[in-house]
Amino acid sequence: MTSSPIFPDTPAAERVRHELKRRALTVSAVERITPNMLRITLTGSDLADFPSASPDDHVKVFIEGPDGQAQMRDYTPRRFDRASCELVLDFALHEAGPATAWALAAKQGDPLIVGGPRGSLVLSKEIKRFLLIGDETALPAIGRRIEEAGPGVDITVYAAVTGPEEQQSFASAANVSLNWVYRPAEDAASAQRLLGALDDLNVAPGTYVWVAAEASVARAIRTHIVEKAGYPLAWIKASGYWLLGQADAHEKLD
């Protein structure tokens, strides 16, 4: 007699709350890691108690809008080193927006106020299989998840970027399968290419599926995985990290 593994209805995870703080930081380095991805390292003693328990945490960066009004945008703590009090954020560059404009102009010594993270969704170490799907804005969380994964973990990634020049490489102890899907920047809100790449994909039970992209893309991928691959919704965390034509917009698709 054969038996198939039984997985719980929902992935084991703990929601951890953090004391909400604003931290005054200083830019210590700016590096263009690919033509359209700007890596900004921030330092400051305020980071001594910075909490970041999960690869898909987010902080709010406080910047000035074109009208001089304060604006906030969400960014992923791509890397954090408590010993050196260094926080790294990766900015996917696009045509407009105050956060993008701030990053493009940033130089060593510039100040930046960062708020949060407010909380973290910490997954159980028992989850050994991940399917991570997203666009450029998802790469910081995807890269961090890959780099922080231990041996015996399988991670499959489908990442939409504009071309080979935007590919990144990640060091990992895990088994990682990276699939780059190319589409022009003007098609960043079209799910077509990603859906094409996912067409024949079977999602094994017990896989934590994580999706982040433009909201309509994230929604289309989530629907595809539920309806075509027959995968349970509870094992999929999908988020709209930005909305086409709307500033300061994101969408939780739980």
Ligand X SMILES: Cc1cc2nc3c(=O)[nH]c(=O)nc-3n(C[C@H](O)[C@H](O)[C@H](O)COP(=O)(O)OP(=O)(O)OC[C@H]3O[C@@H](n4cnc5c(N)ncnc54)[C@H](O)[C@@H]3O)c2cc1C
Least Å distance, CB 71 to ligand X, is: 7
User: For residues 74 and 154, which CB has a smaller minimum distance to ligand X in the complex?
Assistant: 74
User: Where does the chain have alpha helices with state H?
Assistant: 98-105, 139-148, 192-198, 215-227
User: What residues make contact with ligand X under the rule CB under 6 A?
Assistant: 58, 73-76, 90-92, 94, 96-100, 137, 140, 188, 241-248, 250
- What's the min distance (Å) between Cβ of 205 and ligand X? 27
Q: Select 235 or 242, whichever has its Cβ closest to ligand X.
A: 242
Residues with Cβ within 8 Å of residue 54, at least 6 apart in sequence: 16, 120, 121, 122, 123
User: Of 199, 204, 153, 159, nearest to 178 (Cα)?
Assistant: 159
| Smallest gap from residue 24 Cβ to ligand X (A) | 20
Q: Which residue has the tokens 């701030």?
A: 102
Task: Look up tokens 């691959």; give the residue.
Answer: 229
Q: Which is nearer to ligand X, 102 or 158 (CB)?
A: 102
To ligand X, the closest distance from the beta carbon of 152 in angstroms equals 27
| CB 154 to ligand X: min, Å | 24
What whole-number distance in Å separates Cα of residue 128 and Cα of residue 99?
35
Q: Which one, of 183, 246, 192, lies nearest residue 221 by Cα?
A: 192
Least spacing, CB of residue 98 vs ligand X, in Å: 4
**Token pair listed for 184:** 């022009």
Question: Whose Cβ is closer to ligand X: residue 108's or residue 246's?
Answer: 246
Nearest residue to ligand X, by Cβ distance, number only: 97
Residue 202 Cβ vs ligand X, minimum distance, rounded to whole Å = 28
CB-nearer residue toward ligand X: 24 or 249: 249
Using CB atoms within 10 Å of the CB of residue 200, give its burial: 0 to 12 exposed, 13 to 18 middle, 19+ buried.
exposed
28 vs 34 by CB, closer to ligand X: 34
Taking CA atoms, 252 is separated from 9, 11, 82, 122, 222, in Å, by: 20, 18, 30, 17, 12
Residue 158 vs 242, nearer CB to ligand X = 242
Per-residue tokens: 172 = 């990992």
